[in-house]
Chains A and B, each alone.
Chain A
Amino acid sequence: MHELSIALSMMDRIREESVRHSGTVRSAHVRIGVLSGVDSEALRFAWEMARAGSELEEAELEIESVPLRVRCPVCGVTRTAEIQSIACPHCVTPEQDIVEGREMELTALEIDS
């Protein structure tokens, strides 16, 4: 489980961003793609451990899961795909361009001012 490492990196990012906005961080919003290698449940669990006893103890974690979206380079169709069957169902082109699904980003902070 590497989600604890991810949670600790997340705290670094939150600290970096929150110094620009005075106040207490109430929640941190993150987007986690299905192809990011991060499990949302494990991340929630790791977040509880990471924030305990820190100045971010009160900060809740809001996770938005991002499904895999691919674009077919041949027929141009963009669609949501299952990771186990990526090939284009319309023109059967196997290789698809990944549009979304690799995200692992901090997107917003809710701050008490």
Chain B
Amino acid sequence: MTAQPRLVEVRSRILKENDVLARQLRERFQQAGVCVVSFVSSPGSGKTTFLEKLMAGLSARHRIAALVGDLATENDASRLGRACSQVRQITTGTICHLDAKMIAAAIEGWRLEELDFLFIENVGNLVCPSSYDLGEQMRVVLLSATEGEDKPLKYPTIFNTADVALITKMDLAAAAEFNLDEARRSILSVRPGMRILQVSAKTGEGIQETEAWVESLRAPQPKQHSDGYI
């Protein structure tokens, strides 16, 4: 008898495993009361420098941990380690993005309930990270003033799937003849209504505003810390 091919309907998300794990992580983070924010951008747009600055300010008032993804080296973890209590480098080898499984493995042994914030610095890449949910509460995309203003138009998916855009290296804007209005228009055309913050880790421009925004993400109920203060 000749085999008759038949079409079987299935409905399965290709990244189901990642999505399920990300959802579990999100629930764990919520239960522990830790606010998780991830950062994506192209390589060299200033994620690590910005995070160093942001964490330096926040660490006086909050307990912060960070995960940082790179293909190789522990350099970024060493830098971020100076500004927060716990940091782990995720070296991905040849993989161009972080996924939920890497996050779950990296936070193993951490007492999440003792943290206020967990910042995740993704591998520098404007394409691949957009497909992977990490269980974060917010995703921030960075665009530096030394990159083209039309980058959001060229890489729309990453901007569309992020929640907030940060324009970094604003101290270099004049030298790079960066057109801020055009950059904002580009961002808003692919992600209408997106919140855009402008920062410079060098001059401190916008850092306080960003700190205030990050703090506003925390649950409205102040958390009772294990050592008694609220």
Contact = CB atoms under 8 A, between A and B. Distances in A.
Instruction: List the 9 shortest-distance A-B pairs measured between CB atoms, nearest first.
Output: A94-B192, A2-B128, A37-B130, A37-B131, A112-B3, A95-B193, A83-B156, A17-B10, A106-B12
26 contacts: A2-B96, A2-B128, A5-B95, A6-B131, A9-B14, A9-B15, A9-B16, A9-B17, A13-B12, A23-B3, A26-B5, A37-B128, A37-B131, A83-B156, A83-B160, A108-B8, A108-B9, A108-B10, A110-B6, A110-B8, A111-B6, A111-B8, A112-B5, A113-B3, A113-B5, A113-B6
B190 interface: yes
Given A9-B18, A105-B12, A107-B9, A83 B96 contact: no
Interface of B: 3-18, 95-97, 99, 127-128, 130-132, 153, 156-158, 160-161, 188-193
Interface of A: 1-2, 5-6, 9-10, 12-13, 16-17, 21, 23-24, 26, 30, 34-38, 83-87, 94-96, 104-113
A87 B187 CA distance: 12
A106 B11 CA distance: 6
Nearest to A10: B14
A107 to B, nearest CB: 6
